[in-house]
């Protein structure tokens, strides 16, 4: 029975339920977990230095396909093997980063789904201003050690300049730095906050939501998980859609198709999710145009 290995940049809490979407895509190809295929999972929990050894462990397991979640995992497994097919779901530009040759013909042993993540941060800033029109100073929380930290910062700063919005960038890559960052936001009397797209933040979604809400700080996040946990709102790519697609690709590869000939798909399905209860707690009246554009309102 073939084995699909999963290499996760993040942790179980953020990733486990997305396996359901992966199974849906895999089922379309006629493969069902426990019946004619099995799964092996390796979780880095945001510790990128662990990824090479976790990738090597999956290779020793002789898995048939490796699914890599996130840019760090994608590069770790690509470095580790040129023989085993790799299916990735990641943000950033995989061609510019050197992961694949082109979107249409990836070449090598890597294909998958490229999701919109960092590219949406400018739009998140715009939506947050619409939600909190009187915001004088808006904060941007970024992980400076993440693969897209520098480019994300440049993009949000450029967007703020275009909008004429004052912006405070705070950086955190450890729990201690996260505490310092929120203390700085309080000292500077920041009115609202954009949370960057990074596995470090994804692994601390409950912690981040609690810290923002404790300061009564209206915040926008990348993924639905955050407003589902009590955050104000999110605007970003549907990872459910991305994982369903890579499930389908994994099934096709198990049937004999080559990653080099499967185009890197681009998931453009984005969703705006608003937590109505949190908005009321923060004393925010949701503008009707924004309410009408929401894909989901959590009550």
Query: Do 110 and 123 lie in a common domain?
Result: no
Query: Do 139 and 220 lie in a common domain?
Result: yes
- Count the helices and strands in the chain (H runs, E runs): 13, 13
Q: What is the pLDDT of residues 123-175, one digit of tens each?
A: 999 999 999 998 999 999 999 987 778 888 998 999 999 999 999 999 999 99
Nearest-5° Cα angle at 289, 284 to 291: 55
Query: Do 73 and 212 lie in a common domain?
Result: no
Query: Do 128 and 216 lie in a common domain?
Result: yes
Q: How many CA atoms lie within 13 A of 22 on its CB side?
A: 24
Query: Do 179 and 293 lie in a common domain?
Result: yes
Do 208 and 227 touch, CB atoms closer than 8 A?
no
Residue entry with tokens 């890597």: 110
Give strand ranges (E) for 213-281: 219-221, 233-237, 265-267, 270-275
Strand order in the sheet with 270-275: 166-171, 137-142, 192-195, 219-221, 233-237, 270-275, 296-298
Quote the domain boundaries for residue 280: 118-236+271-298
pLDDT at 228 over 70: yes
Query: Do 95 and 25 lie in a common domain?
Result: yes
Q: What is the pLDDT of residue 40?
A: 95
Q: How many residues does the chain have?
A: 299
Query: Do 252 and 224 lie in a common domain?
Result: no
- Tally of domains in the chain: 2
- The whole-angstrom separation of Cα 125 and Cα 103 is 29
Do 40 and 4 touch, CB atoms closer than 8 A?
yes
Q: Which residues neighbour 96 within 8 Å (Cβ) at sequence distance 6 or greater?
A: none
Query: Do 223 and 183 lie in a common domain?
Result: yes
Query: The domain that contains 64 carries what CATH number?
Result: 3.40.50.2300
Q: What is the pLDDT of residues 42-51, one digit of tens each?
A: 999 878 899 9
Q: What is the pLDDT of residues 203-222, one digit of tens each?
A: 888 999 999 999 999 999 99
Query: Do 206 and 244 lie in a common domain?
Result: no
Q: What is the pLDDT of residues 271-288, one digit of tens each?
A: 999 999 999 999 999 999
Q: What is the pLDDT of residues 86-128, one digit of tens each?
A: 999 988 788 988 999 999 999 899 999 998 776 788 899 999 9
Query: Do 33 and 170 lie in a common domain?
Result: no
pTM, rounded to two decimals: 0.85
Query: Do 131 and 146 lie in a common domain?
Result: yes
- Residue 233: both structure tokens together: 């709102």
How many CB atoms neighbour CB 39 within 10 A? 16
- Residue 76: both structure tokens together: 């770790």
Sign of CA dihedral 68, 74, 80, 83: positive
Query: Do 145 and 277 lie in a common domain?
Result: yes
DSSP 266: E
């Amino acid at each position: 029975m073939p084995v699909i290995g999963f290499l996760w940049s993040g942790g179980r809490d953020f990733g486990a339920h997305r396996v359901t979407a992966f199974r849906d895509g895999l089922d379309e190809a006629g493969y069902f977990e426990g019946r004619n295929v099995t799964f092996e999972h390796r979780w880095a929990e945001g510790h990128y230095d662990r990824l090479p050894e976790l990738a090597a462990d999956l290779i020793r397991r002789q898995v048939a396909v490796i699914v890599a979640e996130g840019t760090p995992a994608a590069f770790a497994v690509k470095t580790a093997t040129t023989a085993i097919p790799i299916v990735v779901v990641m943000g950033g530009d995989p061609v510019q980063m050197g992961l694949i040759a082109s979107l249409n013909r990836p070449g090598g042993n890597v294909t998958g789904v490229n999701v919109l993540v960092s590219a949406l941060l400018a739009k998140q800033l715009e939506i947050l201003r619409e939600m909190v029109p009187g915001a004088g100073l808006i904060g941007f929380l970024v992980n400076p050690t993440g693969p897209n930290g520098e480019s994300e910062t440049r993009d949000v700063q450029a967007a703020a300049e275009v909008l004429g919005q004052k912006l405070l960038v705070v950086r955190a890559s450890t729990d201690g730095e996260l505490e310092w960052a929120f203390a700085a936001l309080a000292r500077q009397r920041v009115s609202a906050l954009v949370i960057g797209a990074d596995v470090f933040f994804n692994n601390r979604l409950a912690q981040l939501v609690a810290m923002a809400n404790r300061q009564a700080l209206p915040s926008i996040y990348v993924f639905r998980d955050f407003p589902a946990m009590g955050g104000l709102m999110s605007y970003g790519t549907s990872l459910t859609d991305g994982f369903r697609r890579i499930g389908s690709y994994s099934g096709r590869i198990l049937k004999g198709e080559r990653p080099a000939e499967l185009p890197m798909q681009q998931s453009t399905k984005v969703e705006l999710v608003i937590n109505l209860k949190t908005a009321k707690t923060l004393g925010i009246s949701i503008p009707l145009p924004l309410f009408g554009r929401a894909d989901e309102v959590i009550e």
